[in-house]
Amino acid sequence: MQQIHFYKYQGTGNDFVIMDNRQGQYDWLTNEQVNELCDRRFGIGADGLMLLNKSEDYDFAMKYYNSDGRESSMCGNGGRCLAAFAHKMGVGDGNLYFIAVDGEHEATMDGENWVNLKMQDVDFVEQGPLHYYLNTGSPHFVKYVDDVQAVDVFNEGRQIRYNERFAAEGTNVNFVQPFENGIFVRTYERGVEDETYSCGTGVTAAAITFAGKEEKEYVVPVQTLGGQLEVRFTRTGERTFSNIWLCGPATLVFEGQITIG
Ligand SMILES: N[C@H](CCC[C@H](N)C(=O)O)C(=O)O
């Protein structure tokens, strides 16, 4: 039996189990145990699990697992929550530099519960008659709809995620509706295999497809089931974007101990 001291965070309803692994005390964690811990009936319950790992060259290193227990690509809301946790643990000075699966990130705190996360540049956006496809640290299929609340996100998202083109690697699927002066985004997440209340890399992808053609800075307010985010970025070319920031709340919900086999 193994004891785990964990912290439960959420960022606009995308929720995570976080463990401080800077001493390597949880290096024994298996994929099956991650899946068990994320189970909403038999475990703590979360969309994903993250380890705060030591790094020689950065304030910390981020390791992210989807709730299916498998290590995944970049998680934007997770990166924001992990930065908030590292800050709570006294890491850095309010500005944090960390390394994740998709490269280096900067995170700045606005108060204890608001994190601005710099995302990787986007150097290509596929545009079809009914969709966009781009990678913001994770792969995202983006589809604009007339009424985002009426979409059967689970079934329609699942159909696209498992279609002939995407079945092997999977993709996240975002349904988008222009909303007030921004957009409303709902997401089916790969590796959760369900709709989540918010998906940071998905919100970032959707906001980029919402930008006009002018090469300038954009600020896009994004509404999700779990709350409001803001995506800031510069269009630098026909299909290229940089200086991309995902900004929003990241909150500690509870802290606890759990024993697993
Ligand atoms: N499910 C995603 C990773 C987590 C993305 C999401 N939670 C975010 O905030 O970016 C994938 O496997 O590509």
Total number of domains in the chain: 2
| Same domain? 14 vs 28 | yes
How confident is the model at residue 182, as a pLDDT? 97
| Same domain? 109 vs 179 | no
| Same domain? 67 vs 133 | no
| Same domain? 137 vs 93 | no
Which residue in the list 38, 81, 199, 247 is annotated as catalytic? 199
User: How many Å separate Cα 105 from the centre of its chain?
Assistant: 13
| Same domain? 133 vs 86 | no
How confident is the model at residue 211, as a pLDDT? 96
Pocket test for ligand 1, best of 12, 66, 198 (most atoms within 8 A of CB): 66
Q: Look-up: residue for tokens 């781009």?
A: 134
Instruction: Kindly tell me if the per-residue pLDDT of 261 is higher than 90.
Output: no
Is 224 touching ligand 1 by the criterion CB < 6 Å? Answer: no
CB-hemisphere CA count at 13 Å for 21? 20
| Same domain? 113 vs 143 | no
Domain that holds residue 150: 126-247
Residues forming beta bridges with residue 100, ordered by sequence position: 103
How confident is the model at residue 111, as a pLDDT? 86
| Same domain? 99 vs 163 | no
Query: Where do the H-state alpha helices sit in 105-255?
Result: 153-161, 200-210
Model-level ipTM above the cut of 0.85: yes
Name the burial class of residue 18, with classes exposed (0-12), middle (13-18) and buried (19+) by CB atoms within 10 angstroms of its CB.
Answer: buried
Q: What residues contact residue 7 under an 8 Å CB cut-off, 6+ apart?
A: 17, 18, 19, 20, 85, 252, 254, 255
**Would residue 247 show up in a list of annotated catalytic residues for this protein?**
no
pLDDT tens track for 138-182:
999 999 999 999 999 999 999 999 999 999 999 999 999 999 889
| Same domain? 96 vs 174 | no
User: How many Å separate Cα 119 from the centre of its chain?
Assistant: 10
Which tokens sit at 141?
């299929």
How confident is the model at residue 180, as a pLDDT? 87
| Same domain? 139 vs 101 | no
Which band of pLDDT confidence, cut at 50, 70 and 90, is reported for residue 137? Answer: very high
Q: From ligand 1's centre to the CA of 105, what distance in Å?
A: 16
| Same domain? 26 vs 87 | yes
The average pLDDT across 54-75 equals: 98
| Same domain? 89 vs 169 | no
**138, 156, 189, 240 from 244: Cα distances, Å:** 14, 29, 21, 11
How confident is the model at residue 197, as a pLDDT? 98
Instruction: Kindly tell me if the per-residue pLDDT of 94 is higher than 90.
Output: no
| Same domain? 132 vs 39 | no
CATH, residue 227: 3.10.310.10
Instruction: Kindly tell me if the per-residue pLDDT of 112 is higher than 90.
Output: no
